Structure 1
Amino acid sequence: MRPAQGLGFIYLSLITALLLTVIPVPFQFSLFRPDWVLLVLMYWTLALPRRVNIGTAFFMGFLTDVLVGTVLGVNALAFSVVAFVMAVNHLQIRNFGVIQQSLLVGLLLALYQLLLFWLSNFLTGVNFRPAFLWPVLTGMLVWPWLFWFLRRYRRKLKIQ
Structure 2
Amino acid sequence: MWIKSGLIPLLVSYIVALVLMVMPMPAFMEPWRPDWLSLVIIYWVMALPHRVGMGSVLVLGLVADILMGSVFGIYATALLIMAYPAIRHFQRIRNYSFTQQALVVAILVMVKRIIVYELEHVLNDAVFQLAYLYPVISSAIAWPWVYLILRKYRRHYLVR
Report the CA distance between 1:125 and its aligned residue: 1.2
Q: Deviations over 1:11-47 (max 9, x none)?
A: 1000001011111122221111111111101100010
CA contact (8 A) 2:58 2:80 kept: yes
Q: 1:112, 1:94 → 2: CA distance?
A: 20
Equivalent in the alignment of 2:141: 141
Q: 2:41, 2:4 → 1: CA distance?
A: 18
Give the letter aligned to residue 129 of structure 1.
Answer: Q
Equivalent in the alignment of 1:82: 82
Unaligned runs of 5+ in 2: none
Q: Deviations over 1:86-144 (max 9, x none)?
A: 10010110110111100100000110111111111111111211011100000001000
Give the letter aligned to residue 147 of structure 1.
Answer: Y
Equivalent in the alignment of 2:48: 48
Cα RMSD, aligned residues only: 1.4
Percent pairwise identity: 36
Equivalent in the alignment of 1:28: 28
Runs of 4+ in 1 over 3 A off after TM superposition: 1-5
Q: Deviations over 1:34-92 (max 9, x none)?
A: 11111101100010012111111111111111111111110000011111111001011
Q: 2:7, 2:47 → 1: CA distance?
A: 13
Equivalent in the alignment of 2:102: 102
Report the CA distance between 1:156 and its aligned residue: 2.2
Report the CA distance between 1:157 and its aligned residue: 2.0
Tell me the TM-score normalised to structure 2 length: 0.95
- Equivalent pairs counted in the alignment come to 160
Tell me the TM-score normalised to structure 1 length: 0.95
Equivalent in the alignment of 2:126: 126
Unaligned runs of 5+ in 1: none
